[in-house]
Amino acid sequence: MLSSFIKKIRENVPTAILTAAVLGALLLQLNLLSGQLELQRQQFESQIGTTSSRLSERVRLFVRRKSMGSFSSNANVDSVFTINTPMGQTTVRWSNAQIHPPYGIGTRDTTMLGGMLDNFQSSLPWSTQLDVTELDSIIANELKQNGVRTEPVWALIENGYLSTLTSEGFDPEKVTFNYVLAESFFGPTRQLLLYFPSEKFYLAKRVYLSLVASLLFSTVILTAFFGVQRQGRRQKRLANVKSDFINNMSHEFKTPLATINLAVDAIIKNGDKMDADQIRNYLAVIKTENKRMNAQMESVLQMSMMDKEELTLQRTQMSIEHVVVEAVEHFKLSVAQRNGWIDLVVSPGSYTYFGDPTQFKSALTNLIDNAIKYSSDVPMVSVKLSEEDHDFVIVVKDRGIGMNEETTSQVFDRFFRATKGNIHDVKGHGLGLSFVQEIVDKHGGLIDVQSKIGVGSTFIIKIEKNQ
């Protein structure tokens, strides 16, 4: 029990190591990508922080230019402008007689007026000096200057209350940034709340090259991993079926060789006492077993030729009906000896085809022989030949033991046998159906199988008609 457990662990060590290596590489990729995203996030927050720190100055300059604009509108009259305050309106009048060069706007010295306006602005709410469109434009321009290229949703809080300066669609639940723009002894007097609806996509886009490279690398790793795993399972299965094949071949050769050996020994020891008929019977046994071995070797050589792509078709004008009839007739006697039957139904039609009659008949013979071998004690096999618009159709149906889905999916694999649990219950070495499929493929056809345990199997061959 313990040795079996240790053996399984040893067998799975390479797979475990490979799996750990792949997972480690994927985790490393995710960690690097996470680091890139975090770095971009920090840079993003820094850019927004820089924007908020400069926002008050930008608003002050904007309001000042906006207020001073009235002085440049008319050079010949006194200037008048009004500033709204919570206590009412404050009107400032400026007479041209009070203006002296050289500083200011044109010929006007605005130094004193600018200082006075700054004092007013610092004590007034922004909502009395700006509208939503103006503040939105200032915020957007500042963000762009600091490298932020995604649109924000924002709101302004002044003296603890939500200001009317709030962008459309603002949702307090989604706020991710909160910056204090002004404060007094009692706490913040002006705050800017921000969030970015496309923040995650924007940050991902900033690292898209790393993201694409990481995804590509991960895809390559996973593809290679699953490819190696699949190939490993395939090689393991192939090793198992090859082991079965060797055991089957040993058995198939051992039996006829033993029979031949017994016949030869009998002739050597008692040949002088045998009459001509007895010797002839022993020789017939030797010839039969020799033919049996030769047939087995021929099938193995055929598969070897297929591996080397040396098997070529000798195409000629042939009758598929004639070939099918010959293949069925070949088994009628052996089936009758087991009290079974094999019938053939040929639908009316023209079955002339340009192919290799020898190889085609060999494929059908293998297919019918397989149906008989895997039948019950009394074989019952039906063969039907018909034609469709573009294909010839050959159906071989038995009432045998049938196959499950797993066996059906592997039945055309080389060396595969459905009776792996008892390799000697049915004679063969797992090459017959593989050979059949190869011949059908070389004729440009398709072969399919339908099977159910305890009911039987149906093989369907479709060969495209010659044009």
Does the pLDDT at position 249 exceed 80? no
Of the pLDDT bands very low, low, confident and very high (cuts 50, 70, 90), residue 107 is very low
pLDDT digits (tens, 9 = 90+) for 81-90: 454 444 445 4
pLDDT at 384: 94
Mean pLDDT of 254-269: 84
DSSP string, 11-35: HHHHHHHHHHHHHHHHHHHHHHHHH
- Eight-state DSSP code of residue 108: B
Does the pLDDT at position 318 exceed 90? yes
Mean pLDDT of 19-30: 74
Of the pLDDT bands very low, low, confident and very high (cuts 50, 70, 90), residue 103 is very low
pLDDT digits (tens, 9 = 90+) for 415-434: 665 554 443 444 444 456 88
pLDDT digits (tens, 9 = 90+) for 445-459: 999 999 988 888 999
Mean pLDDT of 260-283: 85
Q: Among 431, 148, 453, which residue's Cα sits nearest to residue 295?
A: 431
Mean pLDDT of 124-146: 88
Which has more pLDDT, 118 or 16? Answer: 16
Does the pLDDT at position 39 exceed 90? no
Domain 232-307 fold: Helix Hairpins (1.10.287)
- CATH 3.30.565.10 location in the chain: 316-464
CB-based contacts of 346: which residues, under 8 Å, 6+ apart? 321, 324, 325, 384, 385, 386
Of the pLDDT bands very low, low, confident and very high (cuts 50, 70, 90), residue 460 is very high
Query: Encoding tokens for residue 24?
Result: 């480690």
pLDDT digits (tens, 9 = 90+) for 330-382: 888 888 888 889 999 999 989 999 998 888 888 898 888 888 888 877 889 99
Q: Among 142, 167, 143, which residue's Cα sits nearest to residue 156?
A: 167
3-state secondary structure of 439: helix
On the question of a cis peptide bond just before residue 102, with omega within 30 degrees of 0, the verdict is: yes
Which has more pLDDT, 397 or 7? Answer: 397
SS (H, E, C) 141-152: HHHHHCCCCCCC
pLDDT at 377: 76
Q: Which CATH architecture has domain 316-464?
A: 2-Layer Sandwich (3.30)
Residue 266 near residue 286, CB atoms below 8 Å: no
Instruction: Please tell me the distance from the alpha carbon of residue 293 to that of residue 254, in angstroms, as a whole number.
Output: 10
pLDDT at 286: 87
pLDDT at 188: 63
Does the pLDDT at position 393 exceed 90? yes
pLDDT at 271: 80
Mean pLDDT of 271-292: 83
Among 24-33, 91-100, 268-277, 312-321, the range scoring the smallest mean pLDDT is: 91-100
Give ∠ CA 69-92-132 in degrees, rounded to 5. 50
Q: How many helices (H) and strands (E) does the chain have?
A: 10, 13
Percentage of the chain modeled with pLDDT above 70: 72
- The C-alpha torsion from 173 through 174 and 177 to 178, rounded to 10°, is -20
pLDDT at 312: 74
DSSP string, 310-366: ------EEEEHHHHHHHHHHHHHHHHHHTT-EEEEEE-SS--EEEE-HHHHHHHHHH
What is the value of pTM for the model shown?
0.45
Label residue 425 exposed, middle or buried (CB < 10 Å: 0-12, 13-18, 19+). Answer: exposed
- CATH 1.10.287.130 location in the chain: 232-307
Which has more pLDDT, 423 or 390? Answer: 390
Does the pLDDT at position 277 exceed 70? yes
Percentage of the chain modeled with pLDDT above 90: 16
Among 50-54, 98-102, 175-179, the range scoring the smallest mean pLDDT is: 98-102
Fill in the amino acid letter for 363: A
Does the pLDDT at position 60 exceed 90? no
pLDDT at 280: 86
Instruction: Please tell me the distance from the alpha carbon of residue 28 to that of residue 217, in angstroms, as a whole number.
Output: 11
Does the pLDDT at position 461 exceed 90? yes
Fill in the amino acid letter for 100: H
Among 115-124, 327-336, 393-402, the range scoring the smallest mean pLDDT is: 115-124
Question: Max Cα separation, the chain?
Answer: 159
Where b means 16+ CB within 10 Å and e means fewer, 188-203 reads bbbbbbbbbeebeebb
pLDDT at 420: 42
Q: What is the mean pLDDT of the chain?
A: 77
Of the pLDDT bands very low, low, confident and very high (cuts 50, 70, 90), residue 7 is low
Among 5-14, 22-31, 155-164, 272-281, the range scoring the smallest mean pLDDT is: 5-14
pLDDT digits (tens, 9 = 90+) for 185-223: 665 688 899 999 988 888 877 776 666 777 777 778 778
Among 116-125, 333-342, 396-405, the range scoring the smallest mean pLDDT is: 116-125
